[in-house]
Structure formats: C-alpha cells, structure tokens
Structure 1
Amino acid sequence: MGDSPYLRGPYAPVREEITAFDLPVTGRIPQELDGSYLRNGPNPLGLEDASYGHWFNGAGMLHGVRLRDGRAEWYRNRWVRSQQVAQQLGEKWPGGPVFDGLDFAANTHIIRHAGKLLATVESGPLPYAMTPELGTLGPCDFDGTLPGGFAAHTKLDKAGDLHAVAYYWAWPDHVQYLVVGPDGRVKTTVNVPVADGPMMHDFALTDSRVVLLDLPITFDMDRARTGDPIPYRWNASHEPRIGLLPRAGGGVMWFPVEPCFVFHTVNAYDADGPAGPVVLDVCRYDGVFDFASLEGSGPLTVTRLTLDPATGRATRTDLDDRGQEFPRMDERVTGLPHRYAYTAVIDDESHPTASGDLPDTAFRNAIIKRDFQTGATEVHDFGRHATAGEAVFVPAAPTSAEDDGYLLAYVHDPARSAADLVILPAQDLAAEPLARVHLPARIPLGFHGAWLPTP
C-alpha cells in the first residue's frame, strides 16, 4: 500500500467480493425492517501506489445487507463495473452512455428513483444503475434527458421530484440545477452563473427555494496539468457566498458569508413563506480548508445559518464544536422544519481507534443525535477502537413521528476484525443496540448509504 492514511487502517481497501447468507445476529432485528441497507464508498482495485491516496479516489464499492422477517438474509459487496473496473476484472463492460468521455465507477452515494437504483458521483461522470443484488446494469443518463454530468447528492421532494446541483471542471462559469421527475426523466435544467468552477458537493432544498453553496474550493487548472487526480483547492480570491434560487423560476439572491467550507447540509426550510428567511443547518469547516488533507484551519462545527432576504444578510450560530460530519435526518421532512439530526464523530481524540495514524478528519467510534429545538445531544459510543461511519435514519412506519425509528450504521468491530451492521433505537440513542448483524468481512470507511424498503 502507499503511504496515504486513506489506504491503510480502517480505510484500507478490501480485496474480494463476498456473498454470505443467513448472517448471525446478536439481539433482535425489528420485524418492520423489510428492505436493504446499502452503502457506497471508494475501494481501489489493484491500485497500489500513493498517487491513489486521496480518500475521494478509488472505484466505488457497494456493501449491502438484506433484512426481512427479523432475519439478515444476505451480505454482499460489489464493485461498480465501470469500463476500467470491468476490464481489470476480466469482464465485459455492460455498456451505456458516457458524458464527455468520462467514465468512473461511482463511489459516493446510492439512491433509488423512478424504479432505478443509482450509484452516484460528482463532477462529470454519470450515475450507474445497479440491481437490487448489487450487480451493475450500466451508466444512466435518465433516458437521454440529462444534458451533462450529474451529482453525488440529491434531494427528493414531497411531489416525488428528485433535485440535484451538478458541477464540472469544464463549466467554469456555471453549475446546473436539475430536476428529475417521478418518471425518471429530467424535466428542469437551470444554468446558474458562478465564477472559477466551484465544487458544490451538496446543497439544500426548501419548499420554495434551492440553497446553493458557492464556497472557495474551486478548480485549479495548474494542478490539473500536473496530473493531480482531484485538482480542486482553496481559492482565497473566490468570494464565499450562499445563494437562494427560487424553485418557481427567477434569479439567485446571494448572501456573503465568512470564509469556510461545507461538504454536507443537514436540511433547510422556509421560516416564513417563500419570501421570508431560510434556515439552513450544516456541518461547517471554519476558515481556510485544505482539500488535499481534508483539514480546516478552524474548528468543524454544526452551524445554523439564517438567510434573510429582507436584510441581505446571513446570520451564523455555531451549535456544537465537537467534530461531526455526514449528517442525516428523517428524509420525510426534507425542506420542512426539522427537529433532529444524527452525525458521525470524526475528530474527537478522546475516542481512540485501532489505528494511531488516522487523519484528523477520520471517523471515530461514536454517533451524536442533536435536538435542534432544545439543544440537547445524546451520544452512542461503540467502544474503544471501534470506527463508525454515517448512520441512516429509518422511520418505524410511514406515518410515525420524526425520530420514531432506527439508526443503521456499519461499525468496525475490533474484536472480530470485521464489520457489524448496528441497529440503534433513535429515541434512546445511548441504549444498547437493538441488534448487531455480524458481517463476514471488514468494510472500509466510506461515504453515504440508504435504506431501501421493499417496494
């Protein structure tokens, strides 16, 4: 392995694809959990040198567990078969559309929309359609309606429309706001003028507006010419700002903010109708952000920003300076006032891991629940040397209240040198897990996941 910390310890790639059935369980899997928990993340295949050491590199690998009738029926892990991955595995590429000559085994998220299961990535390559058993069907351009590349993060609104904001290095003067209808075809494309080719990893959605994060990580052509695999860097001359784009049409209203970077939003909502303030909750890196090392010059905080069109100002309130990332919430309240969020602890040195050389932004061994109404927090600690990734909220029933449900996360168990799928009660986060599904292999720390209930 190369010298990068993202190629060793809990980040180290696994070497083989595994299928296992009738998985052992400690505890009781709730009967209402009928579906699959899937997670995407980078897993280099045969790429040993340190040039592949940035965490964002590596072909996407999906990990999945199928739950039904209180049982864990199977675990699978599968690489997404891009052209390169298929060739390296000695297989025939499934074929499909390619945007601007770019093809990559999507490694960032997994979503389901209009009957298609899609592995997503940003900055040009198309998402890949997958089977429920994690086989690769091929790249997806939404029946030829996608005008360019797609995005890693999407938001589904209550009407069943899927929203995304796409950026691409060859679009230095704009990003694209896209809406994919319930029929799986792109129905809206809006080019939003920007400067310098900014990275917009995530965005937020309210009932009436799209919240755009135009922050100072921008495309660096000089680094691209040197062969830098991720040529995005801090650009001190790029004005940090957040924009409100009306979903009904119209121009963006921009709000200057202090220098910072945001990978992930929690949620946003209209505080007083479509013309009033927007409340936006994020995980915010204060000050200059070093994209190469994924470290900020200031603290990483859970922050609330209130964007007020009447004053043109963004008001900032830092809520929690414990390092937290990968926020998730009850997606049924996307774009509406939310009360709870669940985050992974990533830089709390009081929670040591089995590897002493993790980067500062590494996941640790705890999940935090925040009540935005009361300010209270609750922590689930998985024990010394464990590593826990993103936790996904699953409602107990379609009509259950916000926070009435479960958190699902892959957690490394140092005693077994393998991963567990841990199921926690969201309303009593500090309690013992309801169930641990013992998986037959280690799962490298990765990116984003989804609970996909049985249709």
Structure 2
Amino acid sequence: MSTDIRAVEGAFAPVREEVTAFDLPVTGRIPDQLNGRYLRNGPNPLGLEDPAGHHLFVGDGMVHGVRLRDGRAEWYRNRWVRSQRVAERLGEVWKGGPVHAGMDFAPNTHVIGHAGRTFAIVEAGSRPYELGYELDTLGPCDFDGGLPGGYTAHTKLDPVTGELHAVAYFFGWQYLQHIVIDAAGRVVRTTDVPVADGPMVHDFALTERYVVLYDLPVTFSMDAAAAGERLPYQWNDDHPPRVGLLPRDGSAADVRWLEVEPCFVFHTLNAYDEGGRVVVDTVRYPGRFDALRLHSAEQPVLDRWTLDPAGGSVRTDRIGGASEEFPRVDERTVSRPHRYGYTALIPDLVDLFTPGTADEGPSALATPDLGNELVKYDLLRGTREVHRLGREAYVGEGVFAPRSPDAAEDDGYVLAFAHNPERDAADLLILSAQDFTGAPVARVHLPRRIPLGFHGSWIPDQPDDRA
C-alpha cells in the first residue's frame, strides 16, 4: 500500500474546524462589479488517524467561500461536505439522498454553480452534493432522477446554449458517459461510449461541434484494489493512448478516435474548432504517469493538440512552460477560440507527492518548493506574464471573473486563495487581468489558513441572492 504523508502535512495539512467570519478586512479596494461568491473545493480529511495509505484524492471535501458585494467582503465560510461518514463523525444526522452504487463520498475536487444551484463534484462514480448559498449541505443529487450513474470533476458550460456538459466514468462501466444538463438543470441527454480497461478520465474538452474524450493509459487495476489502494488506478502499457471526437449530436458509432503519444492529462485549458480541425490546449504529462503516487517521469507541459479527423493525425506543439498546472480560461470562451489563459506554476511538481514516511528520516518529509506564482498567457501574441508572490506564499488555481457579462475577454480579474506567511492565514487575491504583474487590486484577509486544494469557481449573484 502506498504511503503519502505529504498529502496531510505542510501546505496540505487539513484544518480542524469550520469558521464563519463577517466583514473581512481588506487591503486595497474590492471592485464594485464583483458581486457573488468565490468558492474553492479541496480535500480536508476528517478523523484521519493514520496517514499511511492515505491518498490526496480521497480526503473529505471542504468548500471555502468568500462573498463579495458592493466593494465589501461580507463573509468567509469553510464547510465540510456532509457525506454520511462526515455527518456521523460530526455528530449529525445524515440527510440522505440518491447515492450511486453505494459510493457515498464527500466530493472534494470542484465546486460549480448551475441553474441557480451550487454543487460540489468529484469523479469515478460518486454523485454531486448540492450545497446551499451559505455552503450548508443539502444532500446528494441526481438532478431529479435524470443522472443514470455518477458524475465528474470537470464540467464545461456552453456560453451560448447554457448547456452543462460532463464526461463520467466508473470502474464498473465499460464505457464513458457524456451527460448534458440544460440551463434549467435537467438532464436532457446521455451518450455511452464503449472503452476498454476502465480508464481514468479526470477532464475532457468541448468545442462547438465535438466532445473531446481522453482515453489514456491510466486504467483501473483490480490488483491495486485488492491490495487496498484507495485510488486503484495504474499506468497500463497495454492500453493504447487515444483521443476521441464525439459529435455533440452523434452516437458512440460516430466517434473518431485518433492515436496520440503515451501521456496523461488531468486538465484542459480550452478547445475549439478551426476549419475541419480541432484545437485542444491542455496540460500534458509526457510518458508514464504513476497515479498512485501522482508522480511523472517528466514535468507537465502546456501543449496544443491539433486534431485532424479527416487525415487521422494529431500534431503536438508546445505553447507554454513546464511545471504548470490548473489551467483556466475566461469561462465565456469555453468551446470557442480563446486568446488568454492562466495557470499556476509549481516548480517541483514531479516530486511533490513522491511517497515518503517518517521512518525514512526528515529528508523524506522535506516539502519541495510549492507554487507561489500565477501565469498569464496571451496566445495570440505568444507572451507570458508571471505574478510572483513571496517564497512561502503558496497559491492555488487562478479563476477569471469578468468585469461585466459583456466585457472583453481580458477585461476582468483573476481570483485565487494564497497563503500569507506573515499571518499564517490565507488571503483572497484579486488581480487585475490587464495589470497581471502589478500589485493586487485587493487582498481580502481571511481568518484561517486554507490548505492547498483543487478547483473553484466565481459564481456571480443572481437577483434573488442580493438580499
């Protein structure tokens, strides 16, 4: 069984209590246009007695949130997602709900808003949990019976149709499932695409014409499951790496599969159609990837795949630097051509989760340099800007928030939680996208440390939220 002590120590160490704070202090000035909530999800294990065998991906989800309104930071809250296990450990009665295949789990990977509702989400067979506006848990969700199985960690919202797309996988399925939820929150279409070996599919891509499927050589391992691994997925040399183009209105029979070099992909920046070809910008781990230890032989790179379904070819071009992860775009460009993108720089990403134990001595537990830089790309001009923080000011994913619904692609702000070592607590950074290397427009000072986590969203208020 693998041992991952680093996943519960240092910047990843869980916080032990839920906090509510109002009227948060601010350095600088919060833009009046930012009315809504910045929410971010991440693993925060509750009641972890022994880190041996723990994997970062299986920690109980905790959502951290800040509400901004009229130039003020009204509140900060952090709340565990109340799966049955979490609720019982907190001495509460679980509210119950539609769990898929007995896989009740406190989703720890992403938190999104759709159809006026808030959802904590995760992959691999578990269903979303719906949250209230103030992050209270309402219960597991199957979208009024429309969700056949589990869901996903990454959705794509079509900015024109308002449809929410997802690709789900589950070790008990021999297929991937494309799921479409309409703007009202109803499941309107599911399409099953057969695949072999049960691949891990953390993300996908969307264009106006296609759903882009990743079928890569990290697959379910019965041997790993029998050995007690909490994340029983391993590199599989016998699984051919490929990318599939599923027409949005097509069936599994219409998928065009294209071979790619062996690699693994966690995250897509964006994708779009270009004539008869498909452009996919993604963070790619070249070569073998060890999912149990989150370890790669090579640093991840920001690459562009140009897929030619007519010719059956894939061209790979380097468009960004190495050791960058958590790519994001202005969500209004999803599935359409984009000019700008944002990543987080983590210099020692390859070594970040290399397993170590206390028996191996202090050097085994030494924390590598964590990310303290956010990166902005102008892909039209081919430029790269870096916003640098202090050495111990680790920062997570940057999320773009437009100045207004009809503002230009670059006209807005980048939001991220960053550790403030002087206070040993977190700040919400608000950066001007058009002055990316300059001082933050505002720093909202939060009352507690926030562990490094995964993904989040800027969810603008609706009229009913303004009370």
TM-score calculated relative to the size of structure 2: 0.93
2 CA distance for matches of 1:120 and 1:358? 31
**1:344·1:363 contact (CA, 8 Å) conserved in 2?**
no
1 CA distance for matches of 2:377 and 2:370? 18
Residue 444 in 1 paired to residue 447 in 2?
no
Residue 242 in 1 paired to residue 249 in 2?
no
**1:304·1:318 contact (CA, 8 Å) conserved in 2?**
yes
What SS does structure 1 have at the residue aligned with 2:15?
coil
Kindly state the Cα deviation for residue 134 of structure 1 after the two structures are TM-superposed: 0.4
Letter in 2 for 1:426: A
**1:3·1:50 contact (CA, 8 Å) conserved in 2?**
yes
Identical-pair percentage: 59
2 CA distance for matches of 1:348 and 1:197? 30
Q: 1:379 aligns with which of 357, 364, 386?
A: 386
**2:232·2:292 contact (CA, 8 Å) conserved in 1?**
no
Kindly state the Cα deviation for residue 140 of structure 1 after the two structures are TM-superposed: 0.4
Matched with 2:256 is 253
2 CA distance for matches of 1:359 and 1:193? 41
Matched with 1:126 is 127
Kindly state the Cα deviation for residue 364 of structure 1 after the two structures are TM-superposed: 1.0
Kindly state the Cα deviation for residue 363 of structure 1 after the two structures are TM-superposed: 4.2
Kindly state the Cα deviation for residue 348 of structure 1 after the two structures are TM-superposed: 5.2
Which one is further off, 233-242 or 316-325? 316-325
Aligned residues: 445
Cα separation, partners in 2 of 1:363 and 1:340, compared to 1, 3 Å: farther
Letter in 1 for 2:313: R
Matched with 2:355 is none
Kindly state the Cα deviation for residue 69 of structure 1 after the two structures are TM-superposed: 1.2
Matched with 1:225 is 226
Letter in 2 for 1:209: Y
CA deviation vs aligned residue, 1:233-291 (integer Å, no higher than 9, x gap): 1111110011100002141101101011000000000001xxx1000000111110111
Kindly state the Cα deviation for residue 357 of structure 1 after the two structures are TM-superposed: 4.7
Matched with 1:136 is 137
Q: Can you give the 5+ residue segments of structure 1 that lack an aligned partner in the other structure? A: none
1 CA distance for matches of 2:370 and 2:213? 26
CA deviation vs aligned residue, 1:284-321 (integer Å, no higher than 9, x gap): 11110111221211231100000001210000001223
1 CA distance for matches of 2:391 and 2:28? 21
1 CA distance for matches of 2:386 and 2:442? 17
What SS does structure 1 have at the residue aligned with 2:223?
helix
Residue 393 in 1 paired to residue 420 in 2?
no
Which one is further off, 386-395 or 314-323? 314-323
2 CA distance for matches of 1:357 and 1:32? 44
**1:390·1:409 contact (CA, 8 Å) conserved in 2?**
yes
Q: What is the Cα-based RMSD across aligned positions, in Å?
A: 1.6
Letter in 1 for 2:10: G
Matched with 1:336 is 336
Matched with 1:270 is 273
Matched with 1:281 is 281
What SS does structure 2 have at the residue aligned with 1:242?
strand
Give runs of aligned pairs for residues 36-435 of structure 1, distance below 5 A: 36-51=37-52, 53-157=54-158, 158-171=160-173, 173-250=174-251, 251-272=254-275, 276-347=276-347, 357=365, 363-435=370-442
2 CA distance for matches of 1:101 and 1:303? 38
Letter in 1 for 2:162: G
**1:243·1:253 contact (CA, 8 Å) conserved in 2?**
yes
**1:166·1:176 contact (CA, 8 Å) conserved in 2?**
yes
1 CA distance for matches of 2:424 and 2:63? 19
**1:35·1:453 contact (CA, 8 Å) conserved in 2?**
yes
Matched with 1:26 is 27
Q: Can you give the 5+ residue segments of structure 2 that lack an aligned partner in the other structure? A: 353-362, 463-467
Letter in 1 for 2:169: Y
CA deviation vs aligned residue, 1:196-246 (integer Å, no higher than 9, x gap): 000110001000100001111100011111211100111111100111000
TM-score calculated relative to the size of structure 1: 0.95
2 CA distance for matches of 1:311 and 1:186? 34
2 CA distance for matches of 1:325 and 1:114? 29
What SS does structure 2 have at the residue aligned with 1:229?
coil
Spell out structure 1 runs of 4+ moving beyond 3 A: 355-360
What SS does structure 1 have at the residue aligned with 2:225?
helix
Cα separation, partners in 2 of 1:401 and 1:55, compared to 1, 3 Å: same
